[in-house]
Amino acid sequence: MHFQWYPGHMTKAKRMMQENMKLIDLVIELVDARIPVSSRNPDIDELGKNKARMIILNKADLAEERWNDVWTEYFRQKGYEVVTMNSRNSGKMKSVHGVIQKACKEKIERDRKRGILNRPVRAMVVGIPNVGKSTFINSLAGKACAKTGNKPGVTKGKQWIRLNKQVELLDTPGILWPKFEDQEVGLRLAFVGSMKDEILQTEELAIELMRFLNQDYPGVLEEKYEIAGAEDLYTLLEQVAESRNCLVKGNQYDTEKAALLLLDDFRSGKLGRITLEYPEEV
């Protein structure tokens, strides 16, 4: 399976980010805690060089806690301020404000020495499609000020949002990059829903996910779907179809429907907390 999804609006979005970067003090980059490196757009490092940087390991409630801790330390060693969170849960948002101030302490100190007081930190929120940027902004602001959706590509243009006297945010559309050098990266992005399912071969994708789960999380599928398990992955998918009554005329297995169900169960955390990549692979 070959993965690529780069609609025209993403080129426009990247250009807009380049143009606005000169106005920015801080780049807040949201990544998916299940795939912290695969969900980072490599263009962001180039666009945001010489800016303060902050990583939000979002959807951390869907990833294994022990790996969240390892990834947090990984990024801190590289000089980023890091917060792990689930942006749908506003409980951790107060700590984010503190980390923003910490990330920009040099800039705030420079302003103070030049007699510039109370100028708000201007932060650009960036990330790939469907990583939760708009939900994060709405939780941080305490109100629905950015469009949200559970499909990639909801935010199409830029939006400035004033959080308080100290912070202004620039929301940007989610952008992928024109070519995946490593198709494993494309596979992981497809697993978590950062590409439109309509362009993917769903059964193949589900089978690849089952291959990973059998290797790194043995027994998860058997327990969740109350199935016997099988070495042949297509047979395993048929067992999922039978377990969830995914049938078509003549009591044939509807493996397409079963594949979508499996992917939805993974993405929503119904299979448990699962991390798809580890620092030693990077």
Q: pLDDT tens for the chain, 282 residues: list them.
A: 555 544 555 667 677 777 788 888 999 999 999 999 999 988 888 888 889 999 999 999 999 999 999 999 999 999 999 999 988 776 677 788 889 989 998 888 888 899 888 788 999 888 888 888 888 888 888 765 654 445 444 444 566 788 888 888 887 776 665 556 677 888 898 999 887 777 678 999 999 999 999 999 999 999 999 999 999 999 999 999 999 999 998 889 999 999 999 999 999 999 999 999 999 876
Q: Which two three-digit tokens encode residue 205?
A: 């994708």
- Distance in angstroms (rounded) separating the CA atoms of residues 94 and 99: 9
pLDDT at site 148: 44
Instruction: Compute the Cα dihedral for 104, 110, 112, 116 and give only its sign.
Output: negative
pLDDT at site 172: 72
pLDDT at site 152: 44
- Distance in angstroms (rounded) separating the CA atoms of residues 66 and 16: 37
Q: Which two three-digit tokens encode residue 154?
A: 């909801």
pLDDT at site 55: 96
Judging by DSSP bridges, how do beta strands 81-84 and 52-58 pair with one another? parallel
Of the candidates 264, 275, 127, the one whose C-alpha atom is nearest the C-alpha of residue 193 is 264
What are the pLDDT digits (tens) for 77-114?
999 999 999 887 766 777 888 899 899 988 888 888 99
Question: CB 80: neighbour CB atoms within 10 A?
Answer: 18
pLDDT at site 194: 83
* N- to C-terminal Cα separation, the chain: 22
pLDDT at site 175: 65
- Distance in angstroms (rounded) separating the CA atoms of residues 93 and 83: 10
pLDDT at site 64: 97
- Distance in angstroms (rounded) separating the CA atoms of residues 187 and 195: 10
Question: CB 75: neighbour CB atoms within 10 A?
Answer: 21
